[in-house]
Structure 1
């Protein structure tokens, strides 16, 4: 499986989780499915659950959807060896990594809470950062001539 295909699948899964968290905040789902002693609700309902008045889960759902779409298009045969999909993924991933650092600081240090869904997202963003670097490296290496 290519790097971009893996990113597409992981982004789709994370987009669905982020959408679920957003719908929970809107009161459109039942109770929040979370392990632990209510850490998800505590973190989601805190000031770190919002950014400039926008639900962080909604920001995540949109961001992951953009990563998904970019990775899917970048996985098409005509685009798999061109640079622009990787450049677009870098533009999406690196700000998300910085935003994730801010959120993890708020969650762990300020709130002293833990949300497993948020942790999965944080791990995914770190993996995405590594993958966009590996994909860029792959594109810099000489490509074999077609047979």
Structure 2
């Protein structure tokens, strides 16, 4: 039983760390968008991506949506970590749904970058890696939880 809780805690911490990375990334991109500051970008042309009409959805910067999503995922991961075995049974499922929506959106936006804008943004790649890691970690976490039930 100890191994179960140890493995689960490691997965929850992984999710929290990746959500924190995604949140920091989103906040940086939002700050550069709102302050009209040049983005430091080591991969691709982040400026072209940020200046495209796809960088906002219904007038809301995509980075703000990312910050909200990662903030929610971070809060839910911290709840799961500190609640330990007292966490509600649905908590992992809710986190998985949030991460699934984020992953879908990341895949969509990556497709826009590659096939419409013809530019890639290193910060966007980091986002895609973070949300993919969160989603896969949550799938494993859910499987580990189900094995004990």
TM-score by length of 2: 0.86
Q: Could you tell me which residue of structure 2 aligns to residue 2 of structure 1?
A: 10
More relative contact order in 1 or in 2 (CA 8 Å, sep 6+)?
A: 2
The reply to whether residue 66 of structure 1 matches residue 90 of structure 2 is no
Root mean square deviation of aligned Cα: 1.8
2: CA distance, partners of 1:79 / 1:55 = 37
Q: Could you tell me which residue of structure 1 aligns to residue 93 of structure 2?
A: 87
Match of 1:111 among 117, 120, 141: 117
- What is the number of residues matched between the two proteins? 141
Whether the 8 Å CA contact 1:79–1:85 is kept in 2: the answer is: no
Distance verdict in 2 for CA 1:123–1:81, change over 3 Å: same
2: CA distance, partners of 1:8 / 1:90 = 13
Q: Could you tell me which residue of structure 2 aligns to residue 50 of structure 1?
A: 56
Q: What stretches of structure 1 move > 6 A for 4+ residues in a row?
A: none
Match of 1:33 among 30, 34, 40: 40
Whether the 8 Å CA contact 1:73–1:79 is kept in 2: the answer is: no
Where structure 2 has 5 or more consecutive residues not aligned to the other structure, the ranges are: 1-8
1:106-145 equivalence runs, <5 A: 106-142=112-148
Distance verdict in 2 for CA 1:54–1:48, change over 3 Å: same
Where structure 1 has 5 or more consecutive residues not aligned to the other structure, the ranges are: none
Please list the CA deviations of residues 59-118 of structure 1 after superposition, one character each: whole Å capped at 9, or x if unmatched.
001100000000000111444765222012012111111111110110011111010000
TM-score by length of 1: 0.88
- Does 55-64 or 83-92 show the bigger shift? 83-92
Distance verdict in 2 for CA 1:92–1:79, change over 3 Å: farther
Whether the 8 Å CA contact 2:22–2:131 is kept in 1: the answer is: no
SS at match of 2:35: coil
